[in-house]
Structures are given as structure tokens and as C-alpha cells.
Amino acid sequence: EVQLVESGGGLVQPGGSLRLSCAASGFTFSSYWMHWVRQAPGKGLMWVSRISGDGSDTAYEESVKGRFTISRDNAKNTVYLQMNSLRAEDTGVYSCALPARGGKAWFDPWGQGTLVTVSS
Amino acid sequence: DVQLTQSPSSLSASVGDRVTFTCRASQSISSYLNWYQQKPGKAPTLLIYVASNLQSGVPARFSGSGSGTDFTLTISSLQPEDFATYYCQQIYFTPITFGQGTRLEIK
């Protein structure tokens, strides 16, 4: 069974940093791209970032470009999201998601998410 | 970026009703449109992928159609467990984008 478990969320002041982790199991981790998606409280879904299976190819949503860095450790079956220069509008639940295949693919499953709150 | 506009934003319906949601893309995305269901406090779950393909384990009362810029999700006979928020997602262009969601409520 595929499982995705996020951790690392918490309360951080504006301008601060956090590193989120997503531990994966139940599939050949290094063969799959991985994605991060954010959901602000009471709001919709926003794609944040993705990384290729070998970590060589990444992409970001414009509002986080230059502040967030996605990475992975295939030996630990874990994908990370390093978040710097955090802003109040970065508040939300961050979930990792597994695309069904390479290329243009739907997300299944999603992790339950970890809550990031940016506030003074 | 591709904007996805879902309508309606919310909908009240009764058990047994047939309901249809729409998702309109700001430019053609071929058939690369997916639908998800999200219940409060839970992660989204995949219903339909690539416009019309029913995800394994999803009841057959869910169906999807469309291509290009206009897509629909239909629930043929609402069940109590279907009351949730529904999101469309395009995966044709980067950045991947989502619609704002349609909240389905019990009448």
C-alpha cells in the first residue's frame, strides 16, 4: 500500500524558515516524480513544486520561486520542501502527492498534510 | 498560467439527484483534466483522470467528459457520502493549476 506521511510543519515568524519532509513507502520511490501542494485555511488547492525521480528536474509555482527548494533523498524514500523567507500568505496545509506515472499525470494518493502557520 | 473556472461555486442538492459540475479552462488543455473529491479535514481523492477515466474503486455514478476547454463531472444519483468539495486540475501545462472548487451541500 502506498503511503505518504508529511512532517515538519509548525508555527514560524514571518521571514523564518521551515523544512518539510514527506516519507514515502509502498512503491519504487526513485522511479517517480513527487509534488507538493498547499491549501490555505478554508481555501482551494495550489500546486507548489515538483521534482523528478533522480532529483535533476524541478519546477515551482511563481510565488514561491527563489524562496522554496524541493529536494529528495532516494536512499531514505523522502522528499523535502525547504521554505525560506516565509510570508503570512504561505500559511496552509502542505501535502505531498504521488503522480500516477511520469509526464502529465494525476495525483494518487495524497498525504494527509502538515500545517504551516506563518505569524508573529 | 491556465485558469480553471468551476461552476457553480456551491450547490445544494438532495440524495438521489443528478448533479453536474463544470470546469472551464482559459486555454485548451486537450483532455488533461482531472477531478478530485475532498471532505473536511481529509486529503483530496482522485475520482476521474484525463477527463473521462474513472479511477479504480470509484463508484460508477461518477462520470466525466469534455476536452479542449470545457469539462463536466456528473454524479448520476447522489449518495449521502458524496457531499463534499470537488476540484478540477489541469496537468497539461506547468504550473499545474486547480479550479477554485465546487461545494456540494445537502438540501
Q: Residue B59: its pLDDT value, please? A: 98
Average pLDDT of every residue of chain A: 96
pLDDT at A1 over 90: yes
Q: What are the angstrom distances between the C-alpha of B107 and each of A49, B12, B80, B83, B99? A: 38, 5, 11, 10, 24
- Concatenated DSSP letters for A3-19? EEEEE--EEE-TT--EE
In contact, A117 and A10? CB cutoff 8 Å: yes
pLDDT at A103 over 90: no
Q: Residue A17: its pLDDT value, please? A: 98
CA distance B23 to B101: 9
> What percent of chain B is modeled with pLDDT above 90?
98
pLDDT, tens digit, for every residue of B45-60?
Answer: 999 999 999 999 999 9
Q: What is the mean pLDDT of residues B11-23?
A: 97
Q: Tell if the CB–CB gap between B95 and A111 is shorter than 8 Å.
A: no
pLDDT at A102 over 80: no
Chain B CB contacts of A64 under 8 Å are none
When CB atoms are compared, the residue of B34, B43, B95 closest to A106 is B34
Residue with cell 493549476: B97
Enumerate residues 95 to 114 of chain A having a beta carbon within 8 A of any beta carbon in chain B: 95, 100, 104-113
pLDDT, tens digit, for every residue of A9-31?
Answer: 999 999 999 999 999 999 999 99
